Amino acid sequence: MKFRILLFLAFISAITNAQSTKGITNEITKTYALQNDSNKVISLLHLSTQYQEINHDTAIVLAQKALKIATAISYPRGKTEALFRIGDNYFFINYKEKSKDYLIKSIDNEQKITSKYWTARSYRKLALIFFSEGNTKKAQELESKAIQIHIARKDSSNIAQCYNQFANFFKKTGQIDSAFTYIKQAIEIEKKLDDQRALARSFRNLASTYLANKNQEKAEYFYKKTLAIQNTIGSKHERIHTFRKLGELYTQKGQYKLAINYIKQGIQISEKIHLLRGLPELYHSLSNAQELNKEHKNAFKNYTKFIQLHDSIQFKDEKIAEARKENKSKVIELHQENLQLERTIEDQFINNKKRKILTFILIIVLIILIGLIINAIKKKDLIQQITNKEKELTKQLISKDIKEVQFKAIQKITNNQEITKERIAKELHDELGGTLTAVKINLMQISEDAEMNRIIESIGEIAKTSRFISHDLHPPLLESSDFCSLITDYLNHFFNNYEIEITTTLLPENKINALASNIQLILYRIIQELCSNIKSHSKASKIDFQLIAHTNDINLVIEDNGIGFETKNISLKPHKGIPLIKEQLKVIGGEIEIESTKKQGSAIYIFIPTNTTSV
């Protein structure tokens, strides 16, 4: 048992050292605190997907751990996705044979279940591998298998992605007309689905196809359309690639200043989100554009950065490859030694029946196992780290029950608050509102002089305010299907008497209106809190409000041009401001990001999952 715990802790330590982000250890600890093994698999695969953009080696380790658990509990769907994730990440770090092996295993495993989604994705990834190896015929055959599965499933989004991949195959083989045909089919599907993220990728593919056809004007037009969509949906990773493509296009056209500007924007985003892969190419493109623009000093400086980054990434990849080979050989040696040790123990157990001899043998086995662990770990300080992590994990597991009680308490408090607000709102609307309306009608029948008219108007305003407070406490439209109208009316009424220009974007309305009632209610409360903060503190004259629903999540973005604030100075008082919003988001698994600088406005980003959330 101790041996398993030590290996598990060594696994956590290895991931921690491989990843610069400090939060991964906490995420994994939370995953292992889950009681349900199926949920552990899902959580590990979600983490693997997150770290695919940051570190492929970390993503592989997480997916392998998910695979081990899914295999142990006979969970075919989790095993299939884990095999695909491992193969997908091996493809990105150019381990093509390993990638093929895992993708084929993913296809074979999904034969046990009815869904063929991961089979189709594996076929598409295998098609890319074979195409990169020059086997165009095999690539098109696999892509055709994938699209047949997507057609049978009526999966329009993935059908469009297949069309784009076919277009890339034809483009690289010089069949430009066929490439145009497939891309345009993909664009038609994505417009019907209103899938802006996928549409942006198709426009970029169309632009590169026009560029391959030597039509620079069309290429420029569609690259800019791509960028316009990506700016709207806030896709940072996608924008980096588009900025680089625009920079290369303007370099070809001889518009070097424009090229330099776009490439610098790509570099700025890459460095901000710490995305190192692709950064060397950006510095290389920038150096080339500056050299052509006769900025020789800057060109030399950025070419030096390109060399340094390229060499450091290449050196890192080589070290990772060496570490993999070394670890594999150590695992084989350890396995062989364990097998030999097992045979020795078995022989001694059979040939020696006396208790003293058996006890002696068990002691020897224990000593050998400890020696193997120490030999594999090598460093003394690592043993201390493992011991500390074991203690930390034990404390976290003990406090798990306390955290569950706290979470349930938060849910209960939130529900009680809403029940109280609903009761007060009903009393305001039915009793106070009804009473004021009756008084107004009676006064209108008494007299029509100017003073009485002013009193009647005042009572009307009080009744209107009473209704607004009632709706503010418990929005009646939350129980209907027109959530978008509720949000729009609230924003217009709330900022009606203030000189604030507000731009509202809610897309697509049918998805927003179809959100679960608990998500609508918490979104509404968060919007109330943020609007109150803006009105009280920001001194803004413009507000940009965006609520965008995607397939599996919904994003709320509120930006203003006010005085801003230092994020480190946010009040820590519970049930107020940002801490209150964080408490509300915790109930539905949401997250919040804040970008603000004094005198430069602020931006609040809210991310809420919509496919697994439940209160």
pLDDT digits (tens, 9 = 90+) for 453-492: 666 666 666 655 555 555 555 565 455 558 898 898 888 8
Under DSSP, is residue 447 helix (H, G, I), strand (E, B) or coil?
coil
Residue 2: pLDDT band with limits 50, 70, 90: very low
Rounded-to-integer distance, Cα 28 and Cα 36, Å: 14
For residue 204, pLDDT over 80 is answered with yes
What is 235-317's CATH topology? 1.25.40
Sequence-distant contacts of 380-388: CB under 8 A, at least 24 apart:
382/13, 385/13, 386/6, 386/9, 386/10, 386/13
Rounded-to-integer distance, Cα 202 and Cα 217, Å: 17
pLDDT tens, residue by residue, 375-390: 666 655 655 665 566 5
Hey, what are 420's tokens?
């109280």
Rounded-to-integer distance, Cα 227 and Cα 189, Å: 20
Q: Check: CB of residue 576 under 8 Å from CB of residue 550.
A: no
What pLDDT does residue 251 have?
Answer: 92
For all residues of the chain together, what is the average pLDDT? 76
For residue 12, pLDDT over 50 is answered with no
Q: Which region, left, alpha or beta, applies to residue 173 given φ > 0 means left and ψ of -120 to 50 means alpha?
A: alpha
For residue 319, pLDDT over 60 is answered with no
What pLDDT does residue 452 have?
Answer: 61
The bridge status of strand 553-560 relative to strand 602-609 is: antiparallel
Under DSSP, is residue 560 helix (H, G, I), strand (E, B) or coil?
strand
pLDDT tens, residue by residue, 245-280: 888 889 998 999 998 999 999 888 888 877 776 788
What pLDDT does residue 504 have?
Answer: 92
CA separation, residue 110 to residues 42, 75, 139, 140, 469 (Å): 17, 11, 21, 22, 55
Higher pLDDT among residues 538 and 55, named by residue:
538
CATH superfamily of 481-615: Histidine kinase-like ATPase, C-terminal domain (3.30.565.10)
Under DSSP, is residue 181 helix (H, G, I), strand (E, B) or coil?
helix
Global pTM? 0.45
**Helix, strand, coil shares of the chain as percentages rounded to 5?**
75, 5, 20
What pLDDT does residue 434 have?
Answer: 56
What kind and span of H or E run contains 105?
Answer: helix 96-110
Q: At which residue do the structure tokens 């195959």 appear?
A: 169
What stretches of 155-295 show up as alpha helix (H) in DSSP? 156-172, 176-193, 196-212, 216-233, 236-253, 256-272, 279-292
Q: Check: CB of residue 374 under 8 Å from CB of residue 384.
A: no
What pLDDT does residue 545 have?
Answer: 93
Q: What is the mean pLDDT of residues 596-608?
A: 88
Higher pLDDT among residues 420 and 590, named by residue:
590
Under DSSP, is residue 592 helix (H, G, I), strand (E, B) or coil?
strand
Residue 360: pLDDT band with limits 50, 70, 90: low
Matching fold, domains 235-317 and 481-615? no
Q: Position 436: which residue type?
A: L
Residue 435: pLDDT band with limits 50, 70, 90: low
Contacts of 582 (CB under 8 A, 6+ apart): 592
Sheet holding 542-549, edge to edge: 501-507, 542-549, 553-560, 602-609, 591-596
Lowest average pLDDT, out of 46-50, 305-309, 412-416, 550-554, goes to: 412-416
Q: What is the mean pLDDT of residues 31-51?
A: 78
What pLDDT does residue 270 have?
Answer: 84
For residue 519, pLDDT over 80 is answered with yes
Domain extent listing, the chain: 235-317, 414-474, 481-615
DSSP conformation class of 94: T
What are phi and psi for residue 480, nearest 5 degrees?
A: -105, -165
Q: Check: CB of residue 615 under 8 Å from CB of residue 408.
A: no
Q: What is the mean pLDDT of residues 529-548?
A: 89
For residue 73, pLDDT over 70 is answered with yes
Neighbours of 196 (CB within 10 A): 18
Hey, what are 159's tokens?
């059908």
What is the percent of the chain where pLDDT is above 70? 65
